Structure 1
């Protein structure tokens, strides 16, 4: 990890990243407990790590990385994302937006607010995403 990314990630954790990563972990654990929610739990665990340390990485569609479509990027992925949106996506996105608004009040918080807005989009539609180095 680059020194700038490390510094930004430390500030990020202090300015709301830790509590949102905890939200993602709670969603992942709840989904894993249900057994049926295991595919969503896997995606939520991956994005929880990304939410904890977002600087120096980015989320992209899995088919852009591998060059081929799979179950998470096809029609079943759309259905999975719709179910996720109804069960957990909307409240995680809401948490990111509320945190972004609070951070945007200060000038130093604007870059972190923008990162929360991007994570809110991922919170709505996480299936089929993969985290790659920036």
Structure 2
């Protein structure tokens, strides 16, 4: 089921969201000081391309640096990436088949706004996670 959902996701919105994160990563890697945000953008791009079967967890070692980095992220890239998730989520919600994908899209908004201090991990078999099921 995850593979089917990922393929439908890829065709309907995943590829375009992937390109948005990829563009943000390239732009952020131009300046040396913003490379950590560019790497975070590439990491999320991979997740946006194939999200089902993975989930987001907080890193226990994240501290004040992650918070400050997330504030800068929201200013430079996070708000328009979150806007992309909102637009594609609303478009997916219009169709019957797209409703589960829209819910997954809306669940990606928090990581698009605050990616530092988060980790993308595979979901456990048998565990229920609406984004990963």
TM-score, with length taken from structure 2: 0.90
User: How many residue pairs end up in the alignment?
Assistant: 123
Unaligned 5+ residue runs, structure 1? 64-68
Structure 1 residue 11: Cα displacement: 0.4
Query: RMSD across aligned C-alpha pairs, in angstroms?
Result: 0.7
- How many angstroms apart in 2 are the aligned matches of 1:114 and 1:121? 13
- How many angstroms apart in 2 are the aligned matches of 1:25 and 1:75? 26
Residues 4-25 of structure 1 deviation map (CA, whole Å, 9 limit, x = unaligned): 2111111000111100011001
Which stretches of structure 1, 4 residues or longer, exceed 2 Å deviation after superposition?
Answer: none
- Match runs of 1:8-87 below 5 Å: 8-63=5-60, 69=61, 73-87=62-76
Structure 1 residue 106: Cα displacement: 1.1
TM-score, with length taken from structure 1: 0.89
Of 86, 102, 112, 1:113 maps to 102
Unaligned 5+ residue runs, structure 2? 124-133
- How many angstroms apart in 2 are the aligned matches of 1:29 and 1:5? 29
